[in-house]
Amino acid sequence: MFVSILSIFALAFLAPVLQKYLKGNTGYFLALLPLGVFTYFLSLFPTITDGEIIRTSIPWFSGLDVNLSFFLDGLSYLFALLITGIGTLIVLYASGYLKGHKFLGRFYLSLLLFMASMLGVVLSDNLITLFVFWELTSFTSYLLIGFNHENPKSRRSALQALLVTGTGGLALLAGAVLIGIAGGSLEISVLLTEGDVIRDHVLYLPIMILVLAGAFTKSAQFPFHFWLPNAMEAPTPVSAYLHSATMVKAGIYLMARMNPILGGTDPWVFTLTIIGALTMVVGAWLALCYTDLKQVLAYSTIMALGTLTMLIGMGHPHAVEAAGLFIIGHSFYKGGLFMVAGTIDHETGTRDARLLGGLAKLMPITALGAALAALSMAGIIPFINFIAKELVYEAAIGFEAIAIVMIVFAVLANIAVVASAGIVAIRPFYGEIKETPKKAHEAPWAMWIGPATLGGLSLLLGLLPWLIDESLISATASAIGGETTVFELALWHGFNLALGLSVLTLLAGVLVYFYWDPIRESLVMRSFNTAFSTMPENGYDHTVSGMLRFAGWQTRIFQSGYLRYYIGTMVAVMVIAVGYTLFTKASVPWPVGWSEVAYYEWVLAALILLASLAAIRAETSLTAIVSLGALGFSVALIFILYSAPDLALTQMLVETLTVILFALVLVHLPNLKPEPFNTGTFRDAVIAISAGSLMTMLMLAALSFDLDPFISEYYAENSYSMAHGRNIVNVILVDFRALDTLGEVTVLAVAGLGIFALIKLYMGDQKKENTK
């Protein structure tokens, strides 16, 4: 499993190179790998559907219980199949859709990276590994959505998706850590048996909120749904992939995965069902407010995500069975229809439903794929989504707590879905041919193979549900529900309430389809759109601009731009923090042994004091610099007196170069004006004197400790034998603690470049101003 993820990652980085050599054929070649991985997963079909679980684990940060561990059960298996299977079709589709695009290589790179990350999410056993892949999907989808990076709208949408899903991802990380504390393990396969422990833990509610924050943002649940329709700024292959099998489904996957661990409690059940049902209805009806095919589809995805959230929340056997089937059904029709919308756009130059018509005569195969997918979407017998919708209704009927509410919500949502299906897949293809910006004709095979395959599968699995019911769907539902169950699916359930609701839905949906224009233009729909689409997004905008304002405010407070304030702040903080620690944790002894101080030491001390006073009261910069130099050399003398020749040598050289440096910048410095004594100088004096006193006391305190001689003895003994050097200072620098030195010289080099840039920039600006 890990190999399959890694191989896609590896291929991703090869893609731009391949694109250079294989040109138009790259897509066919690249599609082979996801196809291969798909075949590999397909070969595991009997194993997994027998209820077996495959695990692998490679130690990563094993000390932290973080491992590259993966496991495959019914749930991750279903997702792995969808990701690689639909992924194959998407790569093919993209090769036709973006044919000749100058950044196609880059596109394949991001797409495959995204595919591998998504596969990582659904296969991860370790929660932290899952989080890493989770954030990788946010990051790579940012690249995909912002692919047309020259379009500001595209960039904005990409950033919005990244911020919303990335923030949720951070909540998920916090949730994962708390789960680790509560459940004693980070491995999902272990936690699945610890559900009761976690549900009874005091941290349960915070865990649930954090995990759901991650899932809801990712799978675009109300009120975080606004990023998803905006994400359709991405090239259509990406939208088709993000909406059908990946990205938003990651949130669904997480909730399904966590259901046996966190589910079943009242807060979980009601949060999921209510938010899910609300999202479902809002998404379904918002879809009818737009005429852009992709936008209609995007909102209908929100409807599907809401439905799935609701089903997982209900949690009873019918509901999880419905969820498993609905995931498949939705992935098929949504992937197919997005590709159709892209093809229409590609061939005619517009995606506006009002401007399209009669395309079936010009693009018969695309029309067929579209019709199949749309019939499945509308839940018409005998398509797979008919069974799924029946199951959704039965799940709603079976949800005893608030069955009536759920039934009404589900029927309302599905009416809108029927109408949407007609809008995206019937209206553009039938009726009279309309004039379009481009003359339409049938798309190349790479572009119709996807919709045709997915549409065909929707029909096939609807007619022959026994292909997957007792095997795949049962395995998936068992994984979601947390207990082994076996289902049989049938197209015909007899005349019951669910069937009645289906008929009602269909009739009402067709009605809405025919009166779509007046409904869309009506005041009710427009205010509905404002309330549920514009307002949440405004909330996002206000949050972002509020954060920027806050950042600006605190930058203005802390970043005054004056070096003297920075130094003053740093020294003051140091004095307070170190001083507090010193006085609470250690005692400062009064220095003894004054009589041992030699006369030349007194002279040196006096020199240092005099030099500092001279530097403070200097009237010209030159005097100040020279005084500081005198101070530095006196300190070097102290080093010599206490036999530290290396230090003394370094100090003297640094002092020399410092004086030269100062002399060079002297011309740029303003003349010093000795300030009269005021509050500013008083403040500086307080900071300076307290810093000096603190250092003195620190020194006294440090000397009063008996230091463990082990380290210095170790160096002294081993310096020559192990490091071939007698100068311990240098041996420590270049051998014993060479890594520290490496860090220091790196900092030095970076600082050098920084100074270079600052000087060049600043002086450059000055020159420009002078020439103006």
Number of C-beta neighbours around residue 303 at 10 A: 25
Residue with tokens 């196809």: 35
Does residue 742 bind other proteins (CB under 8 A)?
yes
Does residue 7 bind other proteins (CB under 8 A)?
no
Cβ distance to other proteins smaller for residue 403 or 748: 748
Number of helices (H), then strands (E), belonging to the chain: the values are 33, 2
CB of 63 vs other proteins, minimal distance in Å: 18
Q: Which of 497, 609, 699, 722 binds other proteins (CB under 8 A)?
A: 722
CB of 715 vs other proteins, minimal distance in Å: 14
- Given the rule CB under 8 A, which of 238-246, 310-318, 427-435, 718-726 is the region that contacts other proteins? 718-726
| Site size for other proteins (CB under 8 A) | 42
- Given the rule CB under 8 A, which of 307-315, 317-325, 363-371, 735-743 is the region that contacts other proteins? 735-743
Whole-number Cα distances in Å, 416 to 110, 279, 396, 446, 501: 34, 13, 18, 31, 14
CB of 147 vs other proteins, minimal distance in Å: 35
Cβ distance to other proteins smaller for residue 416 or 659: 659
Does residue 483 bind other proteins (CB under 8 A)?
no
CB of 164 vs other proteins, minimal distance in Å: 40
First to last CA, the chain: 65
Does residue 592 bind other proteins (CB under 8 A)?
no
Whole-number Cα distances in Å, 671 to 521, 544, 616, 620, 675: 72, 45, 14, 6, 12
Cβ distance to other proteins smaller for residue 281 or 628: 628
CB of 644 vs other proteins, minimal distance in Å: 9
Does residue 717 bind other proteins (CB under 8 A)?
no
CB of 752 vs other proteins, minimal distance in Å: 4
Q: Which of 6, 503, 763, 765 binds other proteins (CB under 8 A)?
A: 763
Cβ distance to other proteins smaller for residue 531 or 738: 738
Q: Which of 466, 602, 682, 756 binds other proteins (CB under 8 A)?
A: 756
Contact of 276 with 308, CB cutoff 8 Å = yes
Residues in 638-677 at the binding interface with other proteins, rule: CB under 8 A: 645-646, 649-650, 653-654, 656-657, 660-661, 664-665, 667-668
Does residue 557 bind other proteins (CB under 8 A)?
no
CB of 651 vs other proteins, minimal distance in Å: 10
Does residue 733 bind other proteins (CB under 8 A)?
yes
- Given the rule CB under 8 A, which of 111-119, 436-444, 507-515, 723-731 is the region that contacts other proteins? 723-731
Pair of tokens at residue 428: 């553009």
Does residue 542 bind other proteins (CB under 8 A)?
no
Contact of 628 with 616, CB cutoff 8 Å = no
CA dist., res. 326 & res. 308, Å (int): 7
Q: Which of 102, 673, 724, 768 binds other proteins (CB under 8 A)?
A: 724
CB of 747 vs other proteins, minimal distance in Å: 10
DSSP result, 566-600: HHHHHHHHHHHHHHHHHHHH---PPP--GGG--HH
Whole-number Cα distances in Å, 346 to 98, 110, 335, 455: 9, 21, 16, 20
Does residue 291 bind other proteins (CB under 8 A)?
no
Whole-number Cα distances in Å, 202 to 142, 176, 194, 377: 36, 15, 15, 43
CB of 717 vs other proteins, minimal distance in Å: 16
- What's the burial of 38, exposed, middle or buried (CB within 10 Å: 0-12/13-18/19+)? buried
- What's the burial of 7, exposed, middle or buried (CB within 10 Å: 0-12/13-18/19+)? middle
CB of 750 vs other proteins, minimal distance in Å: 9
Cβ distance to other proteins smaller for residue 689 or 753: 753
Contact of 395 with 319, CB cutoff 8 Å = yes
Does residue 691 bind other proteins (CB under 8 A)?
no
DSSP result, 121-136: HHHB-BHHHHHHHHHH
Q: Going by C-beta distance under 8 Å and a sequence separation of 6 or more, which residues neighbour residue 124? A: 69, 70, 130, 133, 188
Produce one character per residue of 611-643: b if its CB has 16 or more CB atoms within 10 Å, e if not: bbebbeebeebeebbbbbbbbbbbbbbbbeeee
Does residue 760 bind other proteins (CB under 8 A)?
yes
DSSP result, 47-100: HHHTT--EEEEEEEEGGGTEEEEEEE-HHHHHHHHHHHHHHHHHHHHHHHHTTT
Cβ distance to other proteins smaller for residue 587 or 746: 746
Cβ distance to other proteins smaller for residue 682 or 756: 756
Cβ distance to other proteins smaller for residue 544 or 763: 763
Stretch (H or E) spanning 607: helix 599-617
CB of 746 vs other proteins, minimal distance in Å: 6
Does residue 725 bind other proteins (CB under 8 A)?
yes
- Given the rule CB under 8 A, which of 43-51, 289-297, 605-613, 729-737 is the region that contacts other proteins? 729-737
Cβ distance to other proteins smaller for residue 653 or 695: 653
Contact of 161 with 145, CB cutoff 8 Å = yes
Does residue 635 bind other proteins (CB under 8 A)?
no
Residue 118 exposure: Cα atoms within 13 Å on the Cβ side: 34
Q: What are phi and psi of 377, to 5 degrees?
A: -60, -45
CB of 607 vs other proteins, minimal distance in Å: 23
CA dist., res. 383 & res. 491, Å (int): 8
Pair of tokens at residue 620: 């010209």
- Given the rule CB under 8 A, which of 70-78, 241-249, 587-595, 719-727 is the region that contacts other proteins? 719-727
Number of C-beta neighbours around residue 172 at 10 A: 26
CB of 476 vs other proteins, minimal distance in Å: 47
Q: Which of 726, 768, 769, 770 binds other proteins (CB under 8 A)?
A: 726
Does residue 755 bind other proteins (CB under 8 A)?
yes
CA dist., res. 353 & res. 374, Å (int): 15
- Given the rule CB under 8 A, which of 147-155, 410-418, 453-461, 750-758 is the region that contacts other proteins? 750-758
CB of 726 vs other proteins, minimal distance in Å: 4
Does residue 729 bind other proteins (CB under 8 A)?
yes
CA dist., res. 306 & res. 274, Å (int): 9
The size of the chain, in residues, is: 772
Note the residues at the interface with other proteins (CB under 8 A): 645-646, 649-650, 653-654, 656-657, 660-661, 664-665, 667-668, 722-727, 729-731, 733-735, 738-739, 741-742, 745-746, 748-749, 751-753, 755-756, 759-760, 763
